[in-house]
């Protein structure tokens, strides 16, 4: 088959999630954890091919980002004390809305419940209108119901008013943005209760998604499993800056597991309780977000779904270069744009289908209040468009909150070429008077005053001048405090500064590796048109779990001996391979192998025993060529690790004709 | 310097842990986690060089074991439900003994407390006898006291009776083997209380070392963070066996974090609450523990400290080949021996000093009751001999307990060449009578009877024959149960079997990566004799965090341009490198680099701008040679990744003389 024929063949048989899942299960790419004990939802184990694929994806990620961009990798603790996550905002805000059914004890995630119920009513409406779907879509849905543990078990064919349909559709479009109270109101307004019993539920309550534990034997130190890998990087900022010889911009990176105690996990690998993340924190001057290597990526064309397009109700992306996207301010700045382009090229390298990738900008209400801009790389799967990589400009938020809390400076100091005159309000405290007056509270009062902003200082200066005293309240102290000018002075001072001090902004590309892996499974999966039971996973050789299947044609000792020799060569070259010397037919062995996504097959036959040549088979086209072991190994290495095409890599090898598989 | 001179130089300056720790901290190999918030004991973050070193060690491990031996890697969940760890024995037995001081609220780990108090009394005795140690050892101890948070703050010079000294020494030799009750008795007998106040403590209580959490929103599903990575491998046994086309022996492997809620962590990276493990579970026929590749390792010589030597009170190891160790039955079997040898060669590859490695056999009372044999690879550090790798024959314990609990078979079925006649006791139940008699307890009673061993069945058969009934008790049911022969029949039956079914035994090499990493830090650390402030970390190039430091001699644009070109070559070759174009002297830059353990320096000078040649410096000897960029890159690649020596790798390059650094 030619390249074009292969491309055609890949699209000939319609994608079936059921078939894919059957292959992934049969070949142990992954499986529910603790299945022997009945399983725990939202927890999965990767078997050998899934684990190898994951390791290869991480290896590419490490080379593509950390090595190529000279990032500073850190590996930080997962166990995280309460204080850190209180400061970061996770203790207060990292939660979903849950509703309890007091009768059955069931717990529902409010937004998912509203979504499912309204969707099922819309489907019922379609049925009542006689607009049913094809059998395949129905089968898919049936399979979904079983697999995804949908709460709504049955679709009732009930026609809705046209304006109700419109209301439902509008709600579904905004389903990610509702507060708990709003969800509760929707549930009352549209009579959404337990989908099975119809009973009303408790109003939505916030459920924090962090797993809680106690550190140490006393049980006194409350901790959580980290919900993301970012905090460890922020907390080490000063050490990293020093390690980088105080040069900026620079980036840190971290690869590791994070945890979210999902209310009711669903969608297989897409929403799980324990997951591998890879996160970058790029620390950059807020006044200069250009990127020195932007030119290298500027011509990359991407599909953007900016805020305005979404607001207009469209899902039609804008296709343009990243240079243009930054120039028109669609993407906020060059550094953000640079990373968006680099995310794209990483995803291409590991097998994502470029036609199933878009960059969607966060709507204003989706984004954290401090974020300057945020884009998600979304991958299209049978579950819809899935957020797989986030790329946010988090401004100076994280470093600022940790610095404020710990009173440690987290700043960059930059020598100015030219000294500048800076006029500032400055406060001075007569510290010896604070102790006698405030006793143990003295540090609190001092800290409050020393942390006033320029605006606050200006106001206080006026107050002091006007009334000879200032009045204020300090958190954790009961009464108002009054201080006169014996205690404080506030003056406007002009100084010559030789150093500029600033809190860097953070651009954060954040990768959900499990979600990316599952999406790639869908993108590279196809069935041979001549026999749809013959499934193939067309992983790019670079990330394929195993690179080569070694197949002795029979168990004859002569062939085993050659197989042993060839194995040694692959082992020495550190090319991951498997031997299949099972008795089954060669066709069966290759089929098994196609399901594992192994890009190359090397067959050892009686000729091999005589002249040392072997055949090399390409997985997708099933083309075969023949050459010496050395030639074949070189071709495999070039195609797998050096980015050479099959045609180029095998041009010196002889085509090998065989009966069709 | 010649190879011999380098070896000499490395031992010239006495090892100082304080100096090492200062380098590791200054160069951010690792740091206490959450230091900005005051830190949490037992939790550490790896900074860029520590993280890169760890990644390289893992990469070597993966190639050395998984790839080389065709192991099946899995990546399993850390969150683990209660039931699994109840079955494995961790809920009941994975604990240390802690003592509370009811007055101060302090908590002590009982064995460590006894150990420290007796050690300090022995030291006091030494002082009283005038047998003090050298200043260096004292300084080390002072540093220890600060760093390791020792409970005993002060050594009192009190002379002890000779027989008390002997008693103390005997207790210390067996300190790992005492039960909680025994520790409590020792504390009373020797009057060991809170070392600061002298007050008596509560008797030792078991403290389970697993971190507990709740999975899901209801809080009903109790879970733990896994204390080891082994259970996930056991639970996936059937899937792995199928993946391996039902062939045995085979091994699975897993690399990942595990967690232990240490009572009072100490000794830096050696005893932590969150740590990286790499574990292998090799599943083998209990009747045939030979290993097909044993011949490849049989001549490796190792230092063994078998049980008998330890019992005799000696610590003098036996040095012999692994072949001899297995032949004399010192090591139980070939497969265990094979892995011991492979552990050795792995440790050599990553920089362990062979003179600071021994294999110590577990004493009978140290070993789990089910283990057939167990050897620890111990590395010598300034904290003593540290267990870094365990290598145990766990027999069929793990698969058996999980199979019994879940009623799923975890066995290998092997077609017999010749069918065999097997005579067995078999029990038959008249099931229709069980329901009416036992109601909801019927499954429990049935399960009890169906799980009786051959010996038990034989006894029950006799009982039934003699008295017409059997009497027994079932866990969880109140009264004794009596059944007559209408309910059960027990007969001896002879059958022809074509398949042999067996529970494989497990050989488990288990690596504590963090402990290994710290030990390597100590083993490769030295100071230059000419200036002890100049420290070097002599990592083998293969695992060094960064391979090359690129040093332009000045900031002249001509040199920057060459540096840029050379950078591109290194990036393309995927050789991890750093550029140091800071203004400081070349000597300073190399010193910094030696502390980071970077094996090669490439200097760019004005000659480079003219003729494209650069100098290559070797870290340990500070030798320099000169050649083209291509020649130098080839030498670096060969030495780093292909195991070529410096002499061999640079023989075509010109020696380059420079003023001494």
State residue A104's pLDDT score: 87
Question: CATH assignment of B415-501, given 3.40.50.2020, 3.30.720.200, 1.10.1740.10, 3.40.50.1970?
Answer: 3.30.720.200
Say yes or no for a CB contact (<8 Å) between A225 and B221: no
Q: Report residue B570: phi and psi, to 5°.
A: -60, -40
Domain boundaries, chain A: 3-77+226-396+508-512, 95-208, 417-501, 546-655
pLDDT digits (tens, 9 = 90+) for A568-606: 999 888 899 999 988 888 889 999 999 999 999 999 999
Local confidence band at A148 (pLDDT 50, 70, 90 cut-offs): very low
Kindly indicate the confidence band of residue A134, based on its pLDDT and cuts at 50, 70 and 90: low
* pLDDT at A537 (0 to 100): 98
**Closest Cα in chain A to B596:** A243
The percentage of residues in chain A with a pLDDT greater than 70, rounded to a whole number, is 96
- Judged by CB atoms closer than 8 Å, whether chains meet at B52 and A43 is answered as no
Which whole number is the average pLDDT over B617-631?
95
Query: Which of A37, A63, A72 comes nearest B84 by C-beta?
Result: A37
Question: What is the rounded distance in angstroms from the CA atom of residue A401 to the CA atom of residue A90?
Answer: 12
Nearest CB among A43, A218, A576 relative to B107 is that of A218
Contact between B360 and B331 (Cβ < 8 Å): no
Specify the pLDDT at position B647.
Answer: 94
Please list every residue in chain A whose beta carbon sits closer than 8 Å to the beta carbon of residue B83.
Answer: 37
The predicted model gives A43-59 an average pLDDT of 97
Mean pLDDT, to the nearest integer, of B306-331? 93
Which structure tokens are listed for B279?
């574990």
Distance (Å) from the alpha carbon of A262 to chain B's nearest alpha carbon: 7
Give yes or no for residue B444 having a pLDDT over 90. Answer: no
Domain B3-77+226-396+508-512, architecture per CATH = 2-Layer Sandwich (3.30)
Is B243 close to A47, i.e. CB distance below 8 A? yes
Please report the pLDDT score of residue B372 as a whole number: 87
Q: Which of A216, A222, A280 to mutate to test the interface with B (most CBs of B within 10 A)?
A: A216
Q: Is the pLDDT of residue A631 over 60?
A: yes
The pLDDT value given to residue B138:
55
Side-chain-side CA neighbours of A155 within 13 Å: the count stands at: 19
pLDDT score, position B354: 96
Q: In whole angstroms, give the CA distance from residue B202 to residue B137.
A: 34
Dihedral in degrees, nearest 10, Cα atoms A182, A187, A188, A192: 180
Contact B577, B546 (CB under 8 A): yes
CA-to-CA distance for B579 and B600, rounded, in angstroms?
A: 12
Pairing mode of beta strands A221-225, A469-472: unpaired
Contact A78 B34 (CB under 8 A): no
Tell me which chain B residues have a C-beta less than 8 angstroms from the C-beta of A80: 34
State both tokens at A329.
Answer: 């301010």
Closest partner residue to B40 (CB to CB) among A81, A406, A578 is A81
* Closest chain A residue by Cα to residue B247: A582
Judged by CB atoms closer than 8 Å, whether chains meet at A50 and B75 is answered as: yes
By three-state DSSP, how is residue B232 classified?
helix
> Is there a contact between B213 and A215 if contact means CB atoms under 8 Å apart?
no
Lowest mean pLDDT across A99-108, B146-155, B451-460:
B146-155
| A92-96, A453-457, A525-529: which is most confident | A525-529
Would the pLDDT of A23 be above 90? yes
> Looking at CA atoms only, how far is residue A208 from chain B in angstroms?
9
For B69-112, what is the HEC assignment? HCCEECECCCEEEHHHHHHHCHHHHCEEEEEECCCCCCEEEHHH
Cα gap A315→A304, rounded to integer Å = 10
Give A377's contacts (C-beta < 8 A, 6+ positions apart): A340, A343, A344, A347, A357, A358, A359, A387, A388, A389, A390, A391
8 Å CB contact of B212 and A215: no
H or E element in which residue A637 lies: helix A629-641
Tokens of B628: 């083209």
How much of chain B exceeds pLDDT 90, in percent? 72
- Residue B289 in this model has a pLDDT that exceeds 50: yes
Considering only CB atoms, which chain B residues are within 8 Å of A242?
A: 28
Domains B3-77+226-396+508-512 and B546-655 share a fold: no
The span from the CA of A78 to the CA of A232, in Å, is 9
Q: Could you tell me how far CA A476 lies from the centroid of its own chain? A: 39
* Per-residue confidence band for A140, with pLDDT thresholds at 50, 70 and 90: low
The yes-or-no verdict on residue B160 having pLDDT over 70 is yes
A501 token code pair = 């001090």
B128-135 contacts, C-beta under 8 A, 24 or more apart: B128/B157, B128/B158, B128/B159, B129/B159
Arithmetic mean of pLDDT over chain B: 91
Looking at the complex, report in whole angstroms how far the Cα of residue A33 sits from the nearest Cα belonging to chain B.
7
Q: What is the DSSP annotation of B415-462? A: EEEEEEEEEEEEEEE-HHHHHHHHGGGHHHHHHHHHT--HHHHHHHHH
User: Among all chains, which residue has been given the structure tokens 């230059």?
Assistant: B528
In a 3-state reduction of DSSP, which class is residue B46? Answer: strand
Interface test with B, best of A45, A110, A207, A584 (most B CBs within 10 A): A45
Residue identified by tokens 């039609």 is A316
Whole-angstrom Cα distance, residue A589 to residue A497? 74
DSSP A282-323: EEE-TT----TTHHHHTT-EEEEE-HHHHHTT---PEEEEHH
Mean pLDDT of B471-479: 85
Average pLDDT over residues A307-328: 93
Is-contact B97 B111, C-beta < 8 A? yes
Q: What is the pLDDT of residues A260-298, one digit of tens each?
A: 999 988 778 999 999 999 999 999 999 999 999 999 999
Among all residues of chain A, which has the CA nearest to that of B405? A37
Q: By mean pLDDT, which of A21-25, A330-334, B120-124 is the weakest? A: B120-124
User: A613 has which bridge partners?
Assistant: A628
Pick the CATH number of A417-501 from 1.10.10.60, 3.40.50.720, 3.30.720.200, 3.30.465.10: 3.30.720.200
**What is the band of A312 on the pLDDT scale with cuts at 50, 70, 90?**
confident
Give per-residue pLDDT as tens, B85-116.
Answer: 999 999 998 889 999 998 888 899 999 999 99
CA distance A591 to chain B (A): 15
pLDDT score of A365 more than 80: no
Min Cα separation A279/chain B (Å): 15
B95-208 has which fold? Herpes Virus-1 (3.30.40)
Least confident among A218-222, B90-94, B351-355: A218-222
Residue B275 CB: number of other CB atoms within 10 A? 19
- What does the angle CA B179 – CA B182 – CA B187 come to, to the nearest 5 degrees? 125
Q: Mean pLDDT throughout B66-89?
A: 95
Q: What per-residue confidence (pLDDT) applies to A137? A: 55
Which residues of chain B have a CB within 8 Å of the CB of A105?
Answer: 218
- pLDDT score for A132: 66
pLDDT tens for residues B248-268? 999 999 999 999 999 988 878
pLDDT of res. A138: 55
- For chain A, what is the mean pLDDT? 91
pLDDT tops 70 at residue A517: yes
Residue with tokens 């061999």: B648
What pLDDT does B451 receive? 81
CA distance B80 to chain A (A): 8
Q: What is the pLDDT, as a whole number, of residue A147?
A: 47
Nearest-CA distance B188 → chain A (Å): 23
Residue B477: φ, ψ to 5°: -120, 145
Can you name the CATH fold of B546-655? Rossmann fold (3.40.50)
Q: In a 10 Å sphere around its CB, with 0-12 CB exposed, 13-18 middle and 19+ buried, how is residue B383 labelled? A: middle
Does B74 sit within 8 Å of A48, measured CB to CB? yes
> Of A140, A106, A383, which Cα lies nearest the Cα of A271?
A383
Q: Do A48 and B273 touch (CB under 8 A)?
A: no
The Cα–Cα gap between B149 and B267 comes to 9
Give me the interface pTM, i.e. the ipTM.
Answer: 0.87
């Amino acid at each position: 088959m030619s390249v074009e024929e292969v491309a055609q063949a890949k699209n000939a048989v319609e994608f079936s999630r059921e078939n894919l899942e059957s292959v992934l299960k049969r070949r142990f790419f992954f499986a529910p954890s603790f299945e022997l004990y009945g399983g725990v939802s939202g927890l999965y184990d990767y078997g050998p091919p899934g684990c190898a694929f994951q390791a290869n994806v991480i290896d590419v990620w490490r080379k593509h980002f950390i090595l190529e961009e000279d990032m500073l990798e850190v590996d930080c603790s997962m166990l995280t004390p309460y204080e850190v996550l209180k400061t970061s905002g996770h203790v207060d805000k990292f939660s979903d809305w849950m509703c309890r059914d007091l009768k059955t004890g069931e717990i529902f995630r409010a937004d998912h419940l509203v979504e499912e119920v309204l969707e099922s009513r819309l489907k019922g409406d379609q049925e009542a209108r006689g607009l049913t779907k094809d059998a395949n879509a129905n089968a898919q849905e049936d399979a979904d119901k079983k697999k995804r543990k949908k709460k709504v078990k049955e679709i009732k064919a009930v026609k809705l008013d046209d304006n109700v349909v419109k209301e439902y559709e509008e709600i579904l479009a905004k389903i990610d943005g509702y507060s708990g109270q709003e969800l509760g109101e929707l549930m009352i307004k549209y009579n959404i209760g337990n989908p099975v019993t119809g009973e009303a539920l408790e109003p939505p309550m916030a459920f924090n998604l962090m797993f809680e534990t106690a550190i140490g034997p006393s049980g006194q130190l409350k901790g959580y499993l980290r919900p993301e890998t970012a905090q460890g990087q922020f907390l080490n900022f000063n050490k990293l800056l020093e390690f980088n010889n105080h040069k900026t911009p620079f980036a840190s990176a971290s690869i590791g597991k994070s945890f979210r105690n999902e209310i009711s996990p669903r969608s297989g690998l897409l929403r799980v309780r324990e997951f591998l993340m890879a996160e970058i924190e790029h620390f950059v001057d807020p006044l200069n977000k250009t990127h020195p290597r932007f030119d290298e990526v500027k011509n990359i064309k991407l599909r953007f779904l900016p805020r305005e397009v979404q607001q207009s109700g469209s899902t039609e992306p804008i296709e343009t270069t990243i240079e243009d996207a930054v120039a028109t301010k669609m993407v906020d700045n060059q550094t953000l744009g640079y990373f968006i382009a680099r995310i794209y090229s990483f995803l291409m390298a590991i097998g994502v289908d470029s036609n199933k990738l878009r960059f969607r900008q966060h709507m204003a209400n989706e984004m954290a209040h401090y974020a300057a801009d945020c884009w998600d790389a979304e991958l299209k799967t049978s579950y819809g468009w899935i957020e797989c990589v986030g790329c946010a400009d988090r401004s100076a938020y994280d470093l600022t909150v940790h610095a404020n809390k710990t009173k440690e400076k987290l700043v960059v100091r930059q020598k100015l070429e030219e000294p500048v005159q800076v006029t500032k309000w400055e406060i001075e405290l007569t510290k010896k008077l604070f102790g006698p007056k405030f006793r143990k509270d003295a540090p609190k009062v001092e800290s409050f005053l020393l942390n006033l902003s320029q605006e606050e200082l200006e106001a206080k200066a006026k107050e002091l001048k006007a009334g000879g005293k200032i009045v204020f309240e300090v958190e954790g102290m009961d009464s108002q405090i009054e201080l006169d000018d014996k205690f404080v002075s506030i003056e406007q001072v002009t100084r010559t500064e030789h150093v500029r001090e600033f809190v860097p902004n953070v651009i954060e590309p954040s990768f959900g590796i499990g979600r990316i892996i599952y999406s790639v499974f869908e993108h590279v999966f196809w069935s041979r048109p001549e026999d749809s039971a013959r499934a193939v996973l067309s992983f790019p050789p670079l990330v394929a779990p195993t690179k080569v299947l070694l197949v002795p044609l029979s168990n004859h000792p002569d062939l085993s001996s050659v197989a042993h020799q060839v194995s040694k060569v692959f082992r020495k070259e550190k090319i991951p391979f498997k031997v299949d010397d099972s008795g089954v037919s060669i066709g069966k062995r290759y089929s098994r192998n196609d399901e594992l996504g192994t890009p190359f097959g090397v067959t050892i036959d009686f000729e091999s025993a005589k002249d040392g040549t072997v055949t090399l088979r390409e997985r997708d086209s099933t083309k075969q060529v023949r050459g010496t072991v050395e030639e074949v190994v070189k071709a495999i290495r070039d195609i797998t690790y050096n980015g050479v095409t099959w045609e180029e890599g095998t041009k010196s090898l002889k085509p090998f004709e065989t009966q069709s598989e």
